[in-house]
Structure 1
Amino acid sequence: MELFFDYQTKRSLALLLNYLPKEVTKISAAIAYTHDDLLIKKCDKNKITLEWWGLFNSDISSKMEIVKEALKSPYIKFYPFAEFFHPKVIVFHNYGIYIGSHNLTHNAMYLNVEAGVFIPKNEINEKLQKEVDNFFNYLKQNSIPATNADVEKIERYLVETEIEKKRKDSIQQNIDALFEEQFQHLFILKGGVEDYEGGNKLTKQENKKLHFLQEWRETQKYLSIIHDKVKNIKEPDWIDKDADISIITDQILHAYYYSHLLKGSDENIKSSKLVNEEYEKNKLNPEHAVEKALKWWESLVTPPSNEDKHINIWNRTNKQILSNLRTRDLSSEELFQVFNQNHAARNHARQMKNSDFKLKKDCKKSIDERVKLYTVWIQKQKTKGGLTIQDILKYLLFDDSILIDERVFEVINNPKYKLDHFGRSIVGELVGWGRPEITHLRNNRVNKALRALGFDVALFSD
C-alpha cells in the first residue's frame, strides 16, 4: 500500500493520472467534483474504458464542458447524481485502487493538501475486491447515464439562472468575507452521508424503469456517436440527399449486421454467438470498428439489403403518415402501411398464432396479409386504461411534456398504456420512424450490430 500524502510539490495522484500504465484498459471512478479534464482526456486519447460517477447539482459540480466532451467519447460513460454523493474512489482495473480525498479539480491535484491511499493489484484480496465490486454495483444499480439532452437542459438552466447566480455569488462572497474576519483561527471540515438500510429502496417497477432507462440512454449515446460520424462521410449515390441522418445510421447498422456480419456464416451458429465473437475483437477499440464499417458502407455501389427502400421511401412515408397523429387519428390503411414498414411488426405478425386472427390452424397467409390482419386486430384492442392504439401512438410520439424514453417505457410496461402484441422492438422502431429528429430506431438488430462493433450493450434475445 502506498500513501498519497500530497502537499506542496508532492503530487501523487496527478503523477499517476498523467502517466497511466499501459496495462490499464478500464477505469471505474466515483468522484464527487470534476473540474479538471485530465482523466477524461487520457481515457479518450488512450482508448481506455471509463465508467464515471459524479455529483451533478445546481452548482454543476461536474463541469459541464467536461461532461459534454465525455458524452462524445465511445469509451466513456457518465452517471450523474444530483445529491448525497461525495466519494473519491478510482479503480484502475488490473493495476490498483485509489481511495482518498482528491476530487478531480486543479486545486485538489496541484494545490491543496490532500490524503489518500493507493492499493496495488497484488495486495487486493478476495474480501477487499468484493467490497469494491459491491460499492460500484450499488452505484450502477442506482444511476442513469447522462445524454446530450441532459447537457442541453443544463445549458438552458445556466442561461435562465445567470442573474440569480451572480446575486447568489455576491451574497456568498460577503458571507465568506465576514466568516474570515470573525473566525480566522478556525478551519473546520465537516461532512457525511446517511444511507439507512431499507429507507430508500426502489420498488420493483421503479427498478425496472431505472434499468430500462440505463439501457436505452446508453444505447442512444452509442447511436449518437455513430450518427455524428455519418454526417461527415460520403454517402453512396443511391441515398436521397434529404434523408434523415438517424435513419441512415440505422440502415448502416442494418447492412453491417445482415450483409457484412451474417453473410456467408454457418446457419447452424446462433447470431448471438457471432455477435459476441465480434464484440471480443472490437471491444477495446469500437471507434476503429465503426470507421471500418463506414468505409465499407461508402464503397457500396448498390444497397445490399433494401437499405435504399428503407432510407428513401420508408423514412419519408412513415414520418409523413405518423405526423398526422398531431391533429387526427390514422386511417386503417395508414396504420397498415406504418406497421408494414416496421420490421419488428412484420416479424411479430408472422409469429402470432392463427387463432389470434380467427384463422384455421393450417391456413397460410403471406406476411403482408398477416400484417393487414394484425392491423385490424390491434385496432380492436384497448389497454387497462381504456386507450386505443390511436391514443397510444399520439402519446408515444407527440406528448413531449414527457421524455420520449420514459414514454417508451410506459407504453411497454404500464398497464394504462400497454397493449398485447405491441412490444419493445415494435415501439422502438416506431419512435425512430416517427421522430427521427430526436431519437434513433431501437430493436434487437440494432443492439446486435452495436455489440458486434464493440459497444457494451445487452441483447434483447438470441
Structure 2
Amino acid sequence: MCKLYTNSSLRKDFVLSAFNINAKNNDDIYIASAFFTDSKIVEELLLKGCNIELIVRLGFPTSPHALKALIKNNSINIRFYTSNSFHPKLYIFGNHHALIGSANLTYTGITSNQEVMIEVDSENEVFEDSTFLFKQYWDEAQVLTVDVLKKYEIIYNKNKEILNSLRKMDSDIIEKIGSHNFNNINHGEKTKGFQDKYIENYQRDYQISKQAFSKILDIYNDFPRKTENTEIPLRLEVDSFLSYVREEYAYTEIWSETELGWNESKIQLVKKHISEWLNTDWYHFDDIIVNKNYPLIQRIFGSEISIKEAGYDDIMDAFLVIHSFENRFRFSKGGIETLIRNFKEANELDKVKRSMTHLLHGKGDIVVRMYDLIYNPYYKLHSFGRSNVQELVGWINNLDYPVINGRTSKVLRYYGFDVPVYN
C-alpha cells in the first residue's frame, strides 16, 4: 500500500504528519537526507526512545549547529558525504514503513515546501529495496567526528552569507575534509590510499562499538557505583563489569553463539548481570584497578608534562597495566623481565615519549593518532600493536572513549550487538 504526502494545506498531507504516525516508540530509524537544518525534528524522535542512523551531505544549507546539537547523543550515529551528487531523501521507520521522495530533513521540507513523498509499507517490495539502499549508503559514508564537524563549522560560517560562493564552499569542504561520495557518484576520482581507507574503516567500526558500549553504560547509570572512588571513570568500571561477564558467562566461544539483536530480553539480562556483579567481590577491580593501576597510569600518562618527566621504568610499569601488553610476557622466554628488556632495546625512550604524547594528548582526530601509532614509522613502536593502542586510549582520554579490545567486543557481541570482534 502506498500513500502520498505533499505538504498541501488542502489535502492536509504534511510530511511531518507521516513522521508522527510512522515513528513508533523505540523504533530504529534510518535517514538519508542531503540537507539537514533543524535538530528539533530528530530530537522529537529521540524523545520516543528511537535509535537513529543519519546520513547527510556536508554542504550548504546543512547546519553545523543542528549537527552539534545531536553528535554527542548516544542514541544517534551520524555519517556524511561531501559530494553535491549525494541527494537522496529516504526515511525508514523500523521494519514497517518508509518515506521516499523530495523532502529534505529541514523544517520547511517536512512542513511547508511543495514536496512529493511516497509512503510504502513493508509489504511493498520497494521497502526492502530501500533498506538495502540505505545500508549501501551507510557502509560507504564517513563517520562524523567532532573534529570534522569543527572544520565544517568554520567553512560554513565563512561562506554562509555568500550564496554566490557555494561552489567554492563545496571545494573547500572536499579539500579540508576529503571527497566522500557514494560509490556510484565517483566520477574518475583518485583512488584512496591505505591510510585513508584504514582510518575510514576504523572510524566506522569504532562508532559501532562505542554506541554498543554506551547502551550498556546507560543501563549501568541506573545502578549505584561499585567503587566509592569517584575519580575512577565510569567507563573503566563498566569495562571491569564486561570482564566479569566474559569470565562468568561469555567464556570460550559462547559469546559467538548468541542471537544478534538488542531487545528487551537482552536489557533485562544486562540488568541481572550488573546486579550480580555489584554483589560480587572482584579483586582485580576493587583492589588492583581502583587502588593501583588507574592511579599509576594516570600519574605517568595523564599529561604531557608527566610523560616528559617519566623515566623508562615508570613508563614500563604503566604499560604493564594494559592487559593486552602485559599478556605478551607469555610469549617472551624469561617472562616479564625479558619483555621489558626487549622493549627497551627496540624503542628509544625519546621516541616512546613522543609517541605517547601524540597519542594521548595530541591534536586532531583520535583515530588518526591511533593510526599513527600503529603504522606511521615516526610514531610506531616495536611490540606495541593495535590492541595495546586501543586499550591505552580507553584508560587515558578526556572524551570518555571506552576501552575497546577483544574482551569487551566479545561481551558486546554476547549481548546481541553486531560489533566488530577483535582478537
TM-score in same-fold range (> 0.5): yes
Q: TM-score range by the shorter chain?
A: 0.7 to 0.9
Give 1:331's match in structure 2, choosing from 300, 311, 328.
Answer: 311
Give 1:349's match in structure 2, choosing from 322, 329, 333.
Answer: 329
Give a deviation string over 1:82-130, Cα, whole Å, max 9, x none: 55243211234533432211122332222221113234433316xx956
- In the TM superposition, what are the counterparts of 1:66-81 in structure 2 within 5 Å? 68-69=69-70, 71-74=72-75, 76-81=76-81
Contact 2:38 2:66 in 1 (8 A): no
Paired position in structure 1 for 2:116: 115
TM-score, scaled relative to structure 2: 0.77
Check 1:438–1:105 CA distance in 2 against 1; reply closer, same or farther (3 A cut).
same
1:17 aligned onto 2:5: no
| Residue type at the aligned position of 1:339 | F
Identical counterparts, % of pairs: 20
| Residue type at the aligned position of 2:366 | I
Paired position in structure 2 for 1:362: none
1:273 aligned onto 2:252: no
Contact 1:23 1:95 in 2 (8 A): no
Query: Where does the alignment leave 5 or more consecutive residues of structure 2 unmatched?
Result: 164-183
| Residue type at the aligned position of 1:142 | A
1:337: Cα distance to partner?
A: 1.4
Give a deviation string over 1:59-100, Cα, whole Å, max 9, x none: 5x25645653464243x3221345524321123453343221
Give a deviation string over 1:408-433, Cα, whole Å, max 9, x none: 12212334433443212111122233
1:394 aligned onto 2:357: yes
For residues 28 and 190 of structure 2, what CA distance do their matches in structure 1 show? Answer: 31
Counterpart of 1:53 in 2: which secondary structure? strand
Counterpart of 1:379 in 2: which secondary structure? helix
Paired position in structure 2 for 1:140: 139
1:318: Cα distance to partner?
A: 0.9
Counterpart of 2:69 in 1: which secondary structure? helix
Paired position in structure 2 for 1:421: 383
1:387: Cα distance to partner?
A: 8.1
For residues 331 and 391 of structure 1, what CA distance do their matches in structure 2 show? Answer: 13
Give 2:346's match in structure 1, choosing from 372, 377, 381.
Answer: 381
1:37: Cα distance to partner?
A: 5.1
Counterpart of 1:29 in 2: which secondary structure? strand
| Residue type at the aligned position of 1:108 | G
For residues 108 and 138 of structure 2, what CA distance do their matches in structure 1 show? Answer: 26
1:56: Cα distance to partner?
A: 4.1
1:251 aligned onto 2:251: no
Give 2:209's match in structure 1, choosing from 213, 216, 219.
Answer: 219
Counterpart of 2:199 in 1: which secondary structure? helix
1:460: Cα distance to partner?
A: 1.1
Counterpart of 1:72 in 2: which secondary structure? coil
Q: CA RMSD in A?
A: 4.0
1:43: Cα distance to partner?
A: 4.6
Give 2:320's match in structure 1, choosing from 333, 340, 348.
Answer: 340
For residues 138 and 437 of structure 1, what CA distance do their matches in structure 2 show? Answer: 28
- In the TM superposition, what are the counterparts of 1:188-227 in structure 2 within 5 Å? 195-223=185-213
Contact 1:244 1:436 in 2 (8 A): no
Give a deviation string over 1:234-266, Cα, whole Å, max 9, x none: 223x5423323332232233333334x34xxxx
Greater Rg, structure 1 or structure 2? 1
| Residue type at the aligned position of 1:253 | L
Give 2:402's match in structure 1, choosing from 440, 445, 452.
Answer: 440
How many residues align? The count is 401
Contact 1:336 1:372 in 2 (8 A): no
Contact 1:53 1:80 in 2 (8 A): yes
Check 1:372–1:397 CA distance in 2 against 1; reply closer, same or farther (3 A cut).
farther
Check 1:21–1:150 CA distance in 2 against 1; reply closer, same or farther (3 A cut).
closer
Q: Which moved more, 1:319-328 or 1:307-316?
A: 319-328
Give 1:371's match in structure 2, choosing from 330, 336, 339.
Answer: 336
1:375: Cα distance to partner?
A: 1.8
For residues 64 and 445 of structure 1, what CA distance do their matches in structure 2 show? Answer: 37
Counterpart of 2:380 in 1: which secondary structure? coil
1:6 aligned onto 2:7: yes
TM-score, scaled relative to structure 1: 0.72
Check 1:286–1:12 CA distance in 2 against 1; reply closer, same or farther (3 A cut).
farther
| Residue type at the aligned position of 1:29 | I
Counterpart of 1:380 in 2: which secondary structure? helix
1:40: Cα distance to partner?
A: 3.2
| Residue type at the aligned position of 2:141 | N
For residues 20 and 250 of structure 1, what CA distance do their matches in structure 2 show? Answer: 37
Check 1:143–1:100 CA distance in 2 against 1; reply closer, same or farther (3 A cut).
same
Contact 2:25 2:48 in 1 (8 A): no
Paired position in structure 2 for 1:190: none
For residues 314 and 388 of structure 2, what CA distance do their matches in structure 1 show? Answer: 16
Check 1:427–1:197 CA distance in 2 against 1; reply closer, same or farther (3 A cut).
same
Paired position in structure 2 for 1:183: none
Paired position in structure 2 for 1:407: 369
For residues 69 and 40 of structure 2, what CA distance do their matches in structure 1 show? Answer: 14
For residues 214 and 62 of structure 1, what CA distance do their matches in structure 2 show? Answer: 22
Query: Where does the alignment leave 5 or more consecutive residues of structure 1 unmatched?
Result: 173-193, 360-364
Counterpart of 1:19 in 2: which secondary structure? helix
